[in-house]
Amino acid sequence: MSHRPRQRKPTFFWQGVLIVFPVVVLALIGLVSLRQDELLARHEAEVRAQTIADDLAQKVWDEIVSAPESDLSRHPFFQIDQHGGLIYPPPYTPVPVPRPLNSAELTAEHARLWRACELSVSEGADVSAAVEACEEFLELKPPDNFAAAAQFTMGTLFAQHGQPAAAAQRFDLLLEKYPAAIGESGIPLQPLAQLKLLELAPWLTNRKKFKNLPSLDLFLSNTVFHPTPLTPHLLSLPATMPGAGVASNTAQNRLLSLPGSQPKYDDGPYRPPDDARRRAVVREVQFREGRVAYGPIPAAKKVETPDEVRRRWQETWQETWQNHELARQLYETARSHFQTNNAPTLALLRIAAGNDASQTATNRPLLAAAAGESSVSVPRLFWFSIVESQSSGSRPSVSSQHWLAMSTDLQNAGLGVVCRDENEVGPALTQVVQSWPQFPEYFGITLELAGRSILSTNSLSVLVPGSRGKAAGSGWVATPYVVPPEVLASATKSETGTTFLRLNVHLTSPQMLFARQRERTRWFVLLISVSAAGALFGFVSARGAFQRQRQLAEMKTNFVSSVSHELRAPIASVRLMAEGLERGKVQGEQKQQEYFRFIVQECRRLSSLVENVLDFSRIEQGRKQYEFEPTDLAALVQGTVKLMEPQGAERQISITAIVPDEAVVADVDGKAIQQALVNLIDNAIKHSPNGSIVTVGL
């Protein structure tokens, strides 16, 4: 026996899924899109930060490296050879080392005449006798050191006894023949002879005959660039001393290279050069093949007297000497950072064929290092500290400070090291960073130079939304950070595998960076919320409609079943009675009339049921039309009760009507009201037990 499959009741699951699913998909796509938007914003920020880091690191590197190399006169500078020895400023011994004359170098005749010279000078004999003894000694061509001492002694004797021309001739001869001579005290005789010539100049009638008579600027330059223990004293001599001329076109200095010819000034007023001349007067020193600028003597801004010119030049050379002393002190402190290479090396400095033979011995380039000698290497950048509580001899007093040293290859002139004070480096680099164009507020910079922090994270602040006061209103407020800001990008500058500069770009305000993205997030969340609320409302409404439709379908099913049952019973009764009458089984007039009455009653019942079904269909389709007219409701109720009394009598149920005696008139559709009463009374009869009373009241 086959079983028919059980029909499933319709559910709301898939309808609900179709309503909610688009909203869920939209929300998921939106969340993914927002996440991608945030990642894209962060990626763009990282790319921008990396671009800023690369460009700014190059700018900082140029400020540190290129600027000092292009103008060595702005910063303390020293030059070393491949062994770490000082080349520039010229080194010297602050305390002179005595160098007594060795009489063993003299022959017997030389020794006798030299003792005679010394005896004549010490006993204060007649100047002619002393000079004669010295000249006799010089005629035998003694060693240079003895000859230079004799010339200086003769010049001093002539000057003391009022013979300036003779004295100047001896000093001039000493400078020409023995420029490198050193006295027994360890002091070079050249600056002393030049000083004597300057003192004798006012009493000389024909200065042109003295080839080595210096001007004040020439004397001061030689004093600075040929330093001796007497240099500080010589630079402090009064600029107005007799004979300190402004310039001399006869003085020669092989160590100076002056562009253009130098003008000759007499003792009259000195007028400043014109603009073209002021631009051209730039002095350089050529020392051991390395040309190092020490800057021009400041041009005059007004008409000056000779004394004012001399004083200005003297102050300039004193400043130059102080800079040299500072450079020597920095060199002594920085030497600890020089690294010794024990492997044999070739010299950094090489002499080219055909060098100028007129250069003095002290100005010749260094020769190649001998095999097996050690050389030194200097880091490209390094920091060192210099501490000096008080002045040391002639050197300037330097407070405790840190210096940045930058080495540069001077090719044939060794290595140059430029030193910059930390108090100058920090503000300069800070200015470079702060002046960088189009720098977002939510970025911060930290800078590390040669292992030392120039801009640390302590200088960074975090921007958060807040109040900036009543006048400014709300905005972004800088606050100290709790956790160091994240590093978005980093750029470095390295040489030979060593990192000398590191620049980091930090994200100091993520809230400011993602402000627009968060604004889009808020709008999207609002949109999703409205969509979700709409979907929820639609879900509830659709579910309610579904429930109502299902209930209505059940009611229809029950109605059809009930109508079918109601129709089946009277039709079966009418059929049985009609077949009985047709076959002649019902005998008797009275019995036949009763059957006829029952058939008519059942037909009316069927008509009433059909009419109810039709009315239900019309009502559902909205096609039911009502005819309103004045109707006596009391009479309508009584008539309906009398109509239903036979049906009630069949089930032994009595039907009574309770209505007022007077008429109750109302504008209604009488037929519709009567049909409704029929249905109600019919339901009451069906569901009431036998012997019951159905009461209809108005």
Helices (H) and strands (E) in the chain, counts: 17, 20
Looking at per-residue pLDDT, the higher value among 495 and 389 belongs to 495
Q: Which of 338-342, 345-349, 692-696 has the highest mean pLDDT?
A: 692-696
pLDDT at 69: 55
Q: Which residues contact 301 (CB under 8 A, 6 or more apart)?
A: 272
pLDDT at 663: 82
Q: Which residues contact 645 (CB under 8 A, 6 or more apart)?
A: 654, 655
Q: Is the pLDDT of residue 364 over 60?
A: no
Q: Which residues contact 17 (CB under 8 A, 6 or more apart)?
A: none
Quick count: other Cβ atoms within 10 Å of Cβ 29? 10
Answering whether pTM is above 0.75, one says no
Q: Which residues contact 305 (CB under 8 A, 6 or more apart)?
A: 269, 270
Q: Which residues contact 462 (CB under 8 A, 6 or more apart)?
A: 478, 479, 480, 481, 485, 508, 509
pLDDT at 331: 92
The tokens of 279 are what?
Answer: 């631009």
Looking at per-residue pLDDT, the higher value among 594 and 654 belongs to 654
What's the CATH superfamily of 626-698?
Answer: Histidine kinase-like ATPase, C-terminal domain (3.30.565.10)
pLDDT at 253: 33
Domain boundaries, the chain: 21-70+440-513, 86-283, 539-625, 626-698
- Which residues make beta-bridge pairs with 487? 506
**606-632 pLDDT per residue, tens:** 777 777 777 777 777 776 677 788 888
Q: Which of these ranges, 370-379, 430-439, 522-531, has the smallest mean pLDDT?
A: 370-379
Q: Which fold has domain 86-283?
A: 1.25.40
pLDDT at 634: 84
Residue 410 to residue 416: CA distance in whole angstroms: 6
Cα pseudo-dihedral 361, 364, 366, 371, rounded to 10? -60
**581-605 pLDDT per residue, tens:** 778 777 777 887 877 877 887 787 7
Q: Which residues contact 191 (CB under 8 A, 6 or more apart)?
A: 219, 222, 223, 226, 228, 230, 231, 234
pLDDT at 645: 80
Looking at per-residue pLDDT, the higher value among 419 and 354 belongs to 419
DSSP class of residue 83 equals T
Q: How long, in residues, is the chain?
A: 698
Considering only CA atoms, which of 424, 406, 425 is closest in space to residue 416? 406
- In CATH, the architecture of 539-625 is Orthogonal Bundle (1.10)
| Lookup result for tokens 């209930």 | 551
Q: Is the pLDDT of residue 443 over 60?
A: yes
Determine what percent of the chain is predicted with pLDDT higher than 70. Answer: 78
Residue 40 to residue 163: CA distance in whole angstroms: 93
Q: Is the pLDDT of residue 350 over 60?
A: no
Residue 269 to residue 53: CA distance in whole angstroms: 57
* Contact of 297 with 220, CB cutoff 8 Å: no
**265-295 pLDDT per residue, tens:** 333 333 334 433 333 333 333 333 333 333 4
Looking at per-residue pLDDT, the higher value among 576 and 225 belongs to 225
> Average pLDDT over the chain, rounded to whole?
75
Residue 367 to residue 296: CA distance in whole angstroms: 31
3-state secondary structure 158-180: HHHCCCHHHHHHHHHHHHHHCCC
Report the sign of the C-alpha dihedral through residues 538, 541, 543, 548, in that order. negative
The tokens of 211 are what?
Answer: 């080839």
